[in-house]
Amino acid sequence: MSAAKPTADAEDVIVIENLNKWYGNFHVLRDINLRVKKGERIVICGPSGSGKSTTIRCINRLEEFQEGSLVVDGVEMIDDVKNIETIRKDVGMVFQHFNLFPHLTILENLTLGPIWVQKKPKAEAEATAMKYLERVKIPDQADKYPGQLSGGQQQRVAIARSLCMNPNIMLFDEPTSALDPEMIKEVLDVMVELAEEGMTMLCVTHEMGFAKKVADRVIFMDAGQIVEENEPNEFFNNPQNERTKLFLSQIL
């Protein structure tokens, strides 16, 4: 049976329809449906193991899926390598662990992709890198190595590194959960600024203050399904599903 192609209207930058994924026999994602409009800010929350990371990793093809369809920026996600490359160019991703190259300076970490993938001249790549290091408020760290920076600074470098590739969409997978409490705010502040500038963002996070401040929609996942979604006020004050209520009672 062939499912109808998703009918993306012009504003939808991500369209996921009936996405199903298995790890072997384990049905990890079950009929995920999600549309994200340009400039929308989505927060995804839910218990550990519910499929949050797997969902966002499917969006830039770090994971394969077996059923359903996924369109990013008008490009259908299929096995064609060209399509995967096109989508990776448009989508930046920030992980829990910063994944910086330890033997390269901060500036070299930021210019690597633009120089080698995007074929930008070095001077231009460095100018862009400095612009984004200023935006995340650590231009003075440019010549240091990742190991010389705090966790919060390293995560801000990771965000700047993604921005250097000029993405249309930013995915965040629990970007503050490996950080000491005093460093969480400096990373969230950068994410709030990015949201206010109109970046399309999908953030897996349990930082509910952040969700209330910037999210247009909060999505709650459990056992591989989207169980509930709503705008933040309704989501937090008036959750409908029993599993959402239980989850919120545990984290709030």
Chain residues that interact with Mg ion, rule: CB under 5 A: 53
Residue 128 has a CB neighbour count (10 Å cut-off) of 20
- Looking up tokens 């959750």 gives 239
Q: How many CA atoms lie within 13 A of 149 on its CB side?
A: 27
**Per-residue contact track with ligand ADP, 9 to 38, x per CB under 6 A?**
--------------x--x-x----------
Residues with Cβ within 8 Å of residue 75, at least 6 apart in sequence: 83, 86, 87, 90
- 176 makes contact, choosing from ligand ADP, Mg ion, none, with CB < 5 to 8 Å by partner type, with none
Using rule CB under 6 A, residue 251 touches ligand ADP: no
Using rule CB under 6 A, residue 54 touches ligand ADP: yes
Q: 46 vs 239, which CB is nearer to ligand ADP? A: 46
Kindly state the number of chain residues that form the binding site for ligand ADP, as judged by CB under 6 A. 11
> To which H or E segment does residue 95 belong?
none
Identify the residue among 16, 34, 53, 171 touching ligand ADP (CB under 6 A).
53
The Cα 116–Cα 122 span in angstroms is 10
- Looking up tokens 């990890």 gives 28
Using rule CB under 6 A, residue 48 touches ligand ADP: yes
Identify the residue among 19, 45, 52, 73 touching ligand ADP (CB under 6 A).
52
